[in-house]
A and B are shown apart, each in its own frame.
Chain A
Amino acid sequence: SQKIEQNSEALNIQEGKTATLTCNYTNYSPAYLQWYRQDPGRGPVFLLLIRENEKEKRKERLKVTFDTTLKQSLFHITASQPADSATYLCALGFSGGYNKLIFGAGTRLAVHP
């Protein structure tokens, strides 16, 4: 069956450390993968997009990798801050799918001072 799995447990890290979130998928062939941040009671906010032919993307303190062989994406936040505490969602997109995304359940990140 098709599924997307993110770290099921909340991730607790110390301020200044690097947070690494995983997104694994089964029986999908995405053309691209996106990461969103969602704060309680708010809509998701787009962070990064990586295409199937790209290995790595960076934006400021954020880095995402995409391994289509392992069917996995890793999302890193370096020098994490308490303000980075939120739920992070990965989403798969497909050729010809227009703006239909398949979302994972999300990983809750808590950065402690």
Chain B
Amino acid sequence: KAGVTQTPRYLIKTRGQQVTLSCSPISGHRSVSWYQQTPGQGLQFLFEYFSETQRNKGNFPGRFSGRQFSNSRSEMNVSTLELGDSALYLCASSPPGTSSGELFFGEGSRLTVL
């Protein structure tokens, strides 16, 4: 079974630009969560989608948004990039029928903002 796939793996943007990251969950997984990882703040929850609906959101500004498609694939978007948005963005999917949040992470998309 293929794991969680994130694209692109690496990207470089400049301040003010916007970026879209993509995540394909494990087949059969309907929940997709996004996390930001930085050396200073560690792993921080961005949002979670289930059946195309956002069902939880972290404390990030509105520049961070996401969506989920009917095939459970998800995208997140960051608009008006700032230097502080440089981070590893991790997507995770969770199997159906679990309420305990065991997450299967992808390898991440490393964003550098110049």
Interface residues in chain A, defined as those with a beta carbon under 8 Å from any beta carbon in chain B: 32, 34, 41-46, 49, 51, 89, 91, 93, 97-106
**Which 3 interchain pairs have the tightest Cβ spacing?**
A43-B105, A103-B43, A99-B101
**CB within 8 Å: A-B pair count:** 65
Contact of B104 among A34, A46, A97, A100 (CB under 8 A): A46
Which chain B residues (40-92) contact chain A, with CB distance < 8 Å?
42-45, 48, 50, 55-56, 58, 90, 92
Q: With A and B bound together, what is the CA distance between A102 and B55 in angstroms?
A: 16
Q: Main SS of chain B's interface residues? A: strand
Closest A residue by C-beta to B3: A43
Q: Nearest chain A CB to B105's CB is how many angstroms away? A: 3
Contact of B101 among A42, A44, A98, A105 (CB under 8 A): A98
Q: Chain B: interface residue count, which band?
A: 20 to 34
- B43 & A98 in contact (Cβ 8 Å cutoff): no
Q: With A and B bound together, what is the CA distance between A46 and B33 in angstroms?
A: 15
Contact of A49 among B42, B44, B100 (CB under 8 A): B100
- B100 & A104 in contact (Cβ 8 Å cutoff): no
Which chain B residues (7-36) contact chain A, with CB distance < 8 Å?
31, 33, 35
Contact of B33 among A41, A89, A100, A105 (CB under 8 A): A100
Q: Nearest chain A CB to B16's CB is how many angstroms away? A: 28
- B58 & A44 in contact (Cβ 8 Å cutoff): no
Q: Nearest chain A CB to B64's CB is how many angstroms away? A: 15
- A101 & B106 in contact (Cβ 8 Å cutoff): no
Q: Contacts of B48 on A, CB cut-off 8 Å?
A: 98-100
Q: Contacts of B56 on A, CB cut-off 8 Å?
A: 97-100
Q: Is B103 an interface position by the 8 A CB rule?
A: yes
Q: With A and B bound together, what is the CA distance between A102 and B107 in angstroms?
A: 19
